[in-house]
Amino acid sequence: FSPITIDSMTSLVGMNIPGHTGTGWCIFVYNLSPDSDESVLWQLFGPFGAVNNVKVIRDFNTNKCKGFGFVTMTNYDEAAMAIASLNGYRLGDRVLQVSFKTNKTHKS
């Protein structure tokens, strides 16, 4: 955690745009298999348009995928098309859940 990130976010207060980051549109991909890696996400999302970044979240001890990852795409329309096409897509024996990344809100 870095307090610097809070300062840089204050300029976005009031702008509630799910999934939008400074570099593009962040897409949350859930239900990946433990052996998934970044190349799988590049291959899945690449045909829809420009992909800035992919990140598979891994377990620190085993280095296996924790079941989810993120893809950042430059163009909103391309990102929306990728989500519409890949949400519910069967990858191996798993059905993917794909959506714009939203900020976590803690239940009180």
**Percentage, residues of the chain above pLDDT 70:** 74
Average the pLDDT over 3-17 and give the result.
Answer: 43
Structure confidence at residue 83 (pLDDT) = 97
Task: Identify the three-state secondary structure at position 99.
Answer: strand
Q: Is the pLDDT of residue 6 over 80?
A: no
14: confidence class by pLDDT, cuts 50, 70, 90: very low
Encoded tokens for 104: 């976590």
**Confidence (pTM):** 0.77
Output the pLDDT for position 3.
44
